[in-house]
């Protein structure tokens, strides 16, 4: 296949977005098992990377929603392509910039909505409102964004209540809740598989857009197997690097996660994401995971949800789509100038990326520091457990 240079450039940026999606969303699957000590940080991200890779091959329904739903592939009745590779390039740069910005602040925002916002903003500037199917945006992006976190949160709340009710003991003997640590290995793995199934497809759909625009694929066709493969590898590599800042926020920033509620949160997250992937909903796995963690925190007695952190996360959710759309629109405005505008877009995004990674080194969060936090929390819990046992013994 002979690819034009601009299409190659778009594919390269799309794969970099896929990479940032991987490390941005690792927390969705692995924050809670790392926080409870069920999995060591490096082992957790390795498992997530492998399962993201596998999950990317399981379905293409979400990819079709992106490439042939949200953004119109052809003009009304003419078969002409409305969204050019230049506009896809602009939308991708916007998504990458927003992903890196929210990662820097440890904010679990939606990579999916950043992508959709960037593409919508670019498409409107470059091709007009008719280039976006707002009916699909409403039904398969906005409405799921409103309902899915609430559904996952309610499911996690109920599952946590049930888990603690089943394991409740009244005779002073151990309650057996530690076994949920082993259950977390399974449930977090299922979330990682579901994430690969849902999120890798979004990049597949984006890469399919410029291939169709360049006449290298027919309108309405599925992603090529080569596209599926490279997207699967990119998201897996990103996942393995570990989004430690966001893992810390989801694992310990929202609530103190215990094994039973961690298992409940992950099971609820996985069920919601897999159901949405089957229906072709381009769901935000980050929103679902955050909703599940909050629901599980509410479901455990004497657990405290840190509502200040929760409010920051919700504000990030609300800002992501419009902020990315504005960035995409600005990048598309420059891209319409021609090669010079595209060059300005690329240089600006590259400089921003370098600056963000340089600033992140001032407050480094990595696997080692996260492991120390978990070990410290485990030591405190062990001391409290011994004190309770001694109190029961004296009684």
Phi-psi label, residue 248: left if phi above 0, alpha if psi -120 to 50, beta otherwise = alpha
CB distance 116 to 321 below 8 Å = yes
**Residue 379, pLDDT score:** 41
Q: Which of 262, 318, 310 is nearest to 290 (CA)?
A: 310
CA 315 from centre of chain:
16
Number of C-beta neighbours around residue 289 at 10 A: 30
- Cβ-proximal residues to 5 (8 Å cutoff; 6+ apart), any chain: none
Q: Give the model confidence (pLDDT) of 96-145 as tens digits.
A: 999 999 988 888 888 888 988 999 999 899 888 888 888 888 887 888 88
pLDDT of res. 23: 83
Say if CB 48 and CB 33 are below 8 A apart: no
Q: What does the pLDDT look like over 231-262, one tens digit per residue?
A: 999 999 988 886 788 888 887 777 778 888 88
The reported pTM is: 0.82
> Which residues does 210 contact at the CB level (< 8 Å), separation at least 6?
6, 7, 10, 11, 84, 85, 88
pLDDT exceeds cutoff 50 at 79: no
Can you tell me the distance from the alpha carbon of 33 to that of 29, in angstroms, rounded to the nearest whole number? 8
Could you list the residue range(s) of the whole structural domain that residue 216 is in?
5-394
Q: How many structural domains compose the chain? A: 1
pLDDT for residue 213? 74
Better-predicted residue by pLDDT, 387 or 237: 237
Percent helix, percent strand, percent coil in the chain, to nearest 5: 80, 0, 20
Mean pLDDT of 329-336: 94
């Amino acid at each position: 296949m002979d690819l034009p240079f601009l299409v190659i450039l778009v594919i390269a940026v799309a794969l970099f977005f896929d990479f940032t999606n991987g490390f941005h969303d690792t927390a969705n699957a692995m924050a809670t098992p790392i926080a409870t000590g069920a999995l060591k940080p490096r082992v957790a991200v390795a498992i997530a990377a492998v399962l993201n890779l596998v999950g990317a091959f399981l379905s293409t329904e979400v990819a079709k929603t992106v490439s042939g739903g949200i953004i119109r592939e052809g003009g009304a009745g003419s078969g002409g392509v409305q969204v050019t590779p230049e506009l896809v390039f602009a939308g991708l740069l916007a998504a990458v910039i927003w992903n890196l910005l929210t990662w820097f602040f440890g904010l679990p925002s939606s990579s999916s909505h950043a992508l959709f916002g960037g593409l919508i903003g670019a498409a409107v500037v470059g091709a007009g409102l008719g280039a976006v199917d707002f009916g699909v945006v409403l039904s398969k992006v906005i409405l799921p964004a409103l309902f899915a976190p609430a559904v996952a949160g309610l499911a996690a709340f109920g599952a946590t209540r049930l888990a603690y009710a089943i394991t409740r003991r009244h005779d002073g003997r151990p309650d057996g809740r530690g076994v949920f640590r082993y259950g977390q290995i399974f449930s977090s793995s299922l979330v990682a598989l579901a994430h690969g199934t849902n999120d890798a497809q979004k990049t597949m759909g984006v890469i399919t857009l410029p291939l169709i625009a360049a006449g290298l694929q027919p309108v309405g066709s599925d992603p090529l197997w080569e596209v599926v493969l490279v997207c699967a590898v990119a998201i897996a590599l990103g996942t393995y690097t570990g989004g430690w800042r966001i893992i810390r926020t989801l694992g310990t920033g929202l609530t103190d996660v215990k094994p039973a509620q961690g298992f409940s949160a992950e099971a609820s997250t996985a069920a919601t994401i897999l159901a949405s992937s089957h229906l072709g909903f381009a769901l935000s796995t980050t929103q679902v995971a955050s909703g599940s963690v909050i629901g599980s925190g509410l479901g455990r007695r004497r657990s405290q949800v840190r509502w200040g952190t929760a409010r920051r996360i919700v504000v990030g959710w609300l800002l992501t789509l419009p902020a990315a759309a504005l960035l995409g629109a600005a990048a598309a405005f420059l891209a319409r100038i021609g090669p010079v505008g595209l060059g300005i877009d690329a240089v600006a995004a590259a400089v921003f990326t370098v600056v963000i990674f340089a600033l992140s080194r001032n407050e480094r969060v990595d696997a080692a520091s996260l492991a120390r936090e978990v070990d410290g929390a485990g030591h405190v819990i062990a001391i409290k457990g011994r004190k309770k046992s001694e109190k029961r013994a004296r009684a």
